[in-house]
């Protein structure tokens, strides 16, 4: 079994603010990430897949994955305000944990239409918000 990881970069802004909490609770919980005007990140996104080598000697058609990522990740999220431009985050706090889950779900929802059959399989999404804050999402 081979694991292949492709790396992408995208930029987005967000504000961490839970509407069910008061202003002071949000400031304490989220600190500077609760800035009323939001803030942005240049995210590093890694998509890892696994599968056996096919007759071409590859485990993945990288161009097919690139097209899927463009459609399901880059178009809806790149250079967006996650709070106001991504429907899911109108109701959910756009933490990077939740952002990673949304990216994973978006890929998984379309995966079989691009990669019919068992291989390659989506293994995980890894998203780095900063050099110190890195999150991974995989099937439970």
Long-range contacts of 31-38 (CB under 8 A, 24+ apart): 38/13, 38/14, 38/81, 38/83
Tokens representing residue 100 in the block: 């990673």
Which residue in 23, 39, 70, 79 is the catalytic one? Answer: 79
3 in Cβ contact with 123 (< 8 Å):
yes
- Known active-site residue 23: no
- Known active-site residue 70: no
Helices 96-114 + 62-69 axis angle, to 10:
130
- Known active-site residue 17: no
Which residue in 33, 41, 102, 123 is the catalytic one? Answer: 33
List residues with catalytic annotation: 33, 79, 129
């Amino acid at each position: 079994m081979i694991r292949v990881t492709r790396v992408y970069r995208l930029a987005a802004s967000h504000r961490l603010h839970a509407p069910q909490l008061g202003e002071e609770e949000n400031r304490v919980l989220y600190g500077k990430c609760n800035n009323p005007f939001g803030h942005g990140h240049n995210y590093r996104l890694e998509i890892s897949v696994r599968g056996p080598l096919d007759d071409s000697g590859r485990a993945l058609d990288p161009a097919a994955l690139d097209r899927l990522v463009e459609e399901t990740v880059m178009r809806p999220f790149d250079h967006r305000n996650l709070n106001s431009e991504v429907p899911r985050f109108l109701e959910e706090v756009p933490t990077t944990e939740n952002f990673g889950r949304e990216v994973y779900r978006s890929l998984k929802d379309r995966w079989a239409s691009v990669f019919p059959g068992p291989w390659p399989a989506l293994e995980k999404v890894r998203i780095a918000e900063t050099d110190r804050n890195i999150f991974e999402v995989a099937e439970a």
